Amino acid sequence: MTGVDSTGNGPAGKQQSFWHGRSALLMPAILAAFSLFLLIGSALLDAGSTDFPGPRFFPVILGSVGLLLAVLLALGVLRTPEPVAEADTAPGTASETPQRTYRTHSDFVALAWVAGGFLAFALLLPWAGWILAGALLFWCTAHGFGSRRPVFDILIALFLSSVVYLIFSTGLGLILPSGILGGGF
């Protein structure tokens, strides 16, 4: 934990040095939140006149175990933060903060392109239709993965989503929304 300053991760203030290598607390936090959701949900559930091992029995056990595990995991993270110097450092081509360790690095911009693209796809699908929304998803993902040919990607995206639409809608009889493209037909 003393090696934090030497990693060159910006001005290493006190607060930052606590969180550095401790983002792994995220998983225990998710687990704790989920367990609390199960416990609170069970408490609010109106089980009425069900016999002893009713619908609340199993979730309460599971939620309690989950909370216990979350506490143990969190303690583990607090005691031994993610080993900062353990992994190999990024290869020389790394653009920003080359001293950041390899394992802990995540490219959140690229991640946002894919996740955001998927969210847009999910929300736009009923209105824009499969072909346009699917092409959008394809393009955003390719962009997130660092594709340098946006126009080429648009063409492939439209081609692929149209082919899928044709195969699945006409060939296999699955219903994919046609959206605005299908409005006039």
- Positions in 24-43 near another protein (CB under 8 A): 24, 26-28, 30-31, 34-35, 37-38, 41-42
From the CB of 6, what's the least distance to another protein, in Å?
21
Q: Which of residues 129-148 bind another protein (CB under 8 A)?
A: 130, 134, 137-139, 141-147
The H-or-E segment that residue 105 falls in is none
Structure tokens of 179?
Answer: 């959206």
Nearest to another protein of 5, 86 (CB atom): 86
Q: How distant is the alpha carbon of residue 153 from its chain centre?
A: 24
The residue type of 99 is Q
Q: Which of residues 73-102 bind another protein (CB under 8 A)?
A: 73, 76, 90-91, 94-95, 102
Helix (H, G, I), strand (E, B) or coil at 101: strand
59 binds another protein (CB under 8 A): yes
Could you give the C-alpha distances from 74 to 15, 29, 87, in angstroms and in order?
18, 8, 22
Region of 4-12, 14-22, 69-77 interacting with another protein (CB under 8 A): 69-77
From the CB of 41, what's the least distance to another protein, in Å?
5
172 binds another protein (CB under 8 A): yes
154 binds another protein (CB under 8 A): no
Structure tokens of 109?
Answer: 């911009």
From the CB of 58, what's the least distance to another protein, in Å?
4
Please state the φ and ψ torsions of residue 105, each to the nearest 5 degrees: -75, 135
Nearest to another protein of 5, 123 (CB atom): 123
The size of the interface with another protein (CB under 8 A), counted in residues, is 81
Nearest to another protein of 5, 40 (CB atom): 40
The H-or-E segment that residue 20 falls in is none
The single residue among 81, 84, 128, 153 that binds another protein, judged by CB under 8 A, is: 153
Write the CB contacts of 4 (distance below 8 Å, at least 6 apart in sequence).
12, 17, 20, 21, 84
Could you give the C-alpha distances from 31 to 11, 21, 50, 120, 158, in angstroms and in order?
32, 19, 29, 27, 40
Nearest to another protein of 5, 83 (CB atom): 83
